[in-house]
Amino acid sequence: MNTTPAQTPVAAVIVLAAGGGTRMKSKRSKLLHAVAGRPMLSYAVDAARALEPRHLVVVVGHLREQVEAHLAEYCPEALTVEQAVRNGTGGAVAVGMEKLADVRGEIVVTYGDVPMLSGETLKALVAAHRADHNACTVLTAMVPDPTGYGRIVREQGQVARIVEHKDATEAERQITEINSGIYVFDADLLRAGLPTLQPNNMQQELYVTDMIGYLRGQDARVGAYVTDDLWQTEGVNDRVQLARMNAEVNRRLVEHWMLEGVTITDPKTTWIEADVDLESDVTILPNTQLLGATSIATGALIGPDTTLRDVEVGENAHVVRCHGELAVIGPNAEVGPYARLRPGTVLGQRGRIGTFVETKNAEIGAGSRVPHFSYVGDAYLGEGAYVGAGTTFANFDGQHRLPTHVGDHVFVGANSVLVAPIEIGDGAYVAAGSAITSDVPPGALAVARGREHVSSGWVRRKRPGSRAAAAAEDATGEVHPRIAEARVRVQQTNEQQEAQQ
């Protein structure tokens, strides 16, 4: 009889992951295809780990090198064992048990391709197993369409056996209680029963499900734990199911974050991967994908039409129509609309990366602004700098990627080219349209462009009779009041500043 106290860990979890995954039609193992940005197998491993088992065994086979490489990184404590001949779930469990030769107690069997199965459900399954002193407890579900699944055949309410869809009679196919394929077994009884399995069924495989009939034949207790969350027993066999699974996992993640205080205006077009972290009072506008290890601090506004992968966004920042990767956006900063932040972008607090701006390896200090169509690569900007429209950081000489330093409170006029490696000192000015190829000392003004040459009367001489010539003829030749006013304004400011010295 099983008298294990509730808090004792199970002896082992065996994760079955040798199956072919042929319906995925992929060079990549099915188990490494992503659900909410993480390999499918990582969910099975997480659920297994929640039980804190003394042993964690993963039965591998098809594309085992890929699966083992993932496990070595994600779950180094997992033991892997190869099922060389895929002769069914019974054969797979037997291979797993080879790694657990002297182990006694409870063996949990799960699948690698059931991503939504939670640790909580496994714990509830084990608790039911213990409470009922069972030799085996099966996780089952009542489903509207049980086609394809093994059916739970009960006699006087007790689980008597499991019959596979392919082997079932018409009457058995009416049963809507299905086998999830997830079980708790007593180790000794499992070890005793496995060698008795025979492949005399439609698929000519060893069925672990036949263990139930075996145990009942031994007068051992078999129970079922029925879950009402059908998704937890759903496997993924093809890419249609993969997409459905992703949609459901995403729906739940989006709902989770809304309940944590995040405003999401359009849940259907918002994708949030499993490792994303959001604070309360974040607002996410439609068509936004938050991927990888992205984190967003409180008060930030993200979207619409924004994709962020591994991006850290500070408090109250605004990120609009942006594509960002491996970047940091400081508190109260503004990005977009239409900005591309490539890896290594770090925007300081109150900084601004505006429209049609691309950045890469760019540290942009607090309060610095790059508001309009610019390329900023391998760049280090101090605080309070201003980079005018159309400025290019020419960081590539055809062979090397080279850095540019721009000091605090530097002003770079529009349409300038800063040819790296170069340093613009603190407080320096660069005149519009300059191609800067040598260092600008602090506080200097650098002008590097052709002088304007005006040829008076050129249109009258070269384009006589044209509309341009007629327009020129009619012109008063006086400066427009708006321009004149602006010049006066600039002049007055200059005079005031000179007077202050």
Q: Summarize as ranges the residues that interact with ligand UD1 (CB under 6 A).
A: 16-19, 59, 83, 86-89, 91-92, 111-113, 149-150, 162, 164, 178-181, 207-209, 235
Between 27 and 451, name the residue whose CB sits nearer to ligand UD1.
27
Q: Considering 372, 400, 409, 453, which one is annotated as catalytic?
A: 372
Q: Determine the distance from the C-alpha atom of residue 354 to the mean position of all C-alpha atoms in its chain, rounded to a whole number.
A: 25
DSSP helix/strand/coil, 277: strand
The residue count for binding Mg ion (CB under 5 A) is: 1
Nearest to 144 by CA among 114, 188, 176: 176
Distances (CA, A) of 406 to 179, 289, 352, 385, 413: 65, 33, 15, 8, 13
Cβ at position 113, least distance to ligand UD1 in Å: 5
Between 179 and 392, name the residue whose CB sits nearer to ligand UD1.
179
Q: Which residue has the tokens 């491996």?
A: 326
Q: Which of 37, 90, 105, 235 binds Mg ion (CB under 5 A)?
A: 235
146 part of the interface to Mg ion, by CB under 5 A: no
Between 174 and 466, name the residue whose CB sits nearer to ligand UD1.
174
| Cis bond before residue 304 (omega within 30° of 0) | yes
Considering only CA atoms, give the Rg of the chain. Answer: 34
Residue 83 touches which of ligand UD1, Mg ion, none (CB < 5 to 8 A by kind)? ligand UD1
Residue 239, token pair as written in the block: 């890419």
Distances (CA, A) of 188 to 101, 122, 194, 200, 455: 10, 21, 10, 24, 101
CB neighbours of residue 279 within 10 Å:
17
Looking at 362-480, list the stretches that DSSP marks H as alpha helix, in order from N- to C-terminal side. Answer: 458-462, 467-474
Candidates 92-100, 234-242, 278-286, 474-482 — which segment interacts with Mg ion by CB under 5 A? Answer: 234-242
Contact 128/221 with Cβ under 8 angstroms? no
Residue 136 touches which of ligand UD1, Mg ion, none (CB < 5 to 8 A by kind)? none
| Cis bond before residue 421 (omega within 30° of 0) | yes
Measured CA to CA, the distance from residue 96 to residue 94 in angstroms comes to 5
Residue 113 touches which of ligand UD1, Mg ion, none (CB < 5 to 8 A by kind)? ligand UD1
Between 113 and 378, name the residue whose CB sits nearer to Mg ion.
113
Between 232 and 289, name the residue whose CB sits nearer to Mg ion.
232
Residue 388 touches which of Mg ion, ligand UD1, none (CB < 5 to 8 A by kind)? none
Cβ at position 405, least distance to Mg ion in Å: 59
Q: Which residue has the tokens 């949990």?
A: 108
Between 86 and 372, name the residue whose CB sits nearer to ligand UD1.
86
Cβ at position 202, least distance to ligand UD1 in Å: 10
Cβ at position 233, least distance to Mg ion in Å: 10
204: left (phi over 0), alpha (psi -120 to 50) or beta: left
Q: Which residue has the tokens 């159309």?
A: 390
Contact 132/222 with Cβ under 8 angstroms? no
Cβ at position 136, least distance to ligand UD1 in Å: 13
Cβ at position 116, least distance to ligand UD1 in Å: 13
Residue 149 touches which of Mg ion, ligand UD1, none (CB < 5 to 8 A by kind)? ligand UD1
Between 40 and 51, name the residue whose CB sits nearer to ligand UD1.
40
Cβ at position 257, least distance to ligand UD1 in Å: 30
Q: Which residue has the tokens 């040829």?
A: 455
Annotated active-site residue 372? The verdict is: yes
Between 21 and 336, name the residue whose CB sits nearer to ligand UD1.
21
Contact 78/67 with Cβ under 8 angstroms? no
HSE of 497 in the Cβ direction (CA atoms, 13 Å)? Answer: 6
Percentage helix, strand, coil, to 5, in the chain? 25, 30, 45
Cβ at position 120, least distance to ligand UD1 in Å: 20
Per CB under 5 A, residues contacting Mg ion are 235
Which residues form the catalytic set? 372
